[in-house]
Each structure stands twice: as C-alpha cells, then as structure tokens.
Amino acid sequence: MYYNAVISGMCAALASLLGKLSGIFEWGSLDSAVLKIILLLAMFLSNACVWTFFVKALHSSKSSLSATVTSSATNYFCSALAGYLFFNEVTSLLWWAGTSLIIIGILVINRSQGEELKNKSS
C-alpha cells in the first residue's frame, strides 16, 4: 500500500545524489560538461519520478500524513546510505537514533491507520 511513498523517497535520494555528483564536474572540458549535463538531466528525471510516485501515494493513502512521512523517512535513510557509500560521509549515533525513531513512528502511524480502515469496513 505504501510502496509508492517508499519509491518516491528513494527517487528523492537518487535525485540528491545525482545533483551532488554533478557538482563534482566543471564546465572546462567537453567530456566533463557532457557528463555534468547528463547527471543534471537524470536528476530532473528522478525528481519527476518523485512527484509521480508521491501523488500516487497520496491517492492510495487515507491520510496525506502517512504518505508524506513514509516518503521523507525513506529519503533520509537512503540519502544517508548513499552519502556513506559514495562520499564516505559519517553519520552520528544520535542521527541514526533519530532516524530510527522516525521509522518507528511511521510504523505506528501506518499500523493504526490500517486498523482504523479494518474497523470501519467491519
């Protein structure tokens, strides 16, 4: 049910990664300029996917809150993972504790909404 929100968050993290990678290359040579343009176009395409899947998540969700929080939390987690894998960025234990609390909150929100829907249909 919330897979569209998760895909939206993953695409948002990908767009951030592509934008950051495009900043590495200068306009000086033709090769780096072409690579920079390709990365920027891929970033725009990824952002288009973000909004496409986010709107689908909003339509399939009973509440906009669960779609928004699910997409955002997925984006946080994937962005941190990409930062670690591609740029050797280090996140603190406090950051991971906060992210874990957000994910637990998402699970609670989504579960309570699922139970409300089940009770209404009974």
Q: Give the range of the structural domain holding residue 22, as residue numbers without chain letter.
A: 3-121
pTM confidence score: 0.78
Rounded to the nearest 10 degrees, what angle do helices 30-60 and 3-22 cross at? 160
Taken in order 115, 118, 120, 122, the sign of the CA dihedral is negative
∠ Cα 106 109 113 (to 5°): 140
The better pLDDT of the pair 23, 118 is held by 23
Give tens-digit pLDDT for 86-98: 888 888 899 889 8
Question: How many independent structural domains does the chain possess?
Answer: 1
Residue 52 in this model has a pLDDT that exceeds 80: yes
pLDDT higher than 70, residue 50: yes
- Per-residue pLDDT averaged across 57-73, rounded? 84
Quickly state the pLDDT bin for 18 (edges 50, 70, 90): very high
pLDDT of residue 10: 95
Instruction: Round the average pLDDT of the chain to a whole number and report it.
Output: 85
Q: For the residues 35-49, what does the mean pLDDT come to?
A: 94
The token pair at 108 is: 């609670």
**Cα gap 64→104, rounded to integer Å:** 18
**Intra-chain end-to-end CA distance of the chain, in Å:** 19
Residue 108 pLDDT > 70: yes
DSSP string, 50-98: HHHHHHHHHHH-S-HHHHHHHHHHHHHHHHHHHHHHHH-----HHHHHH
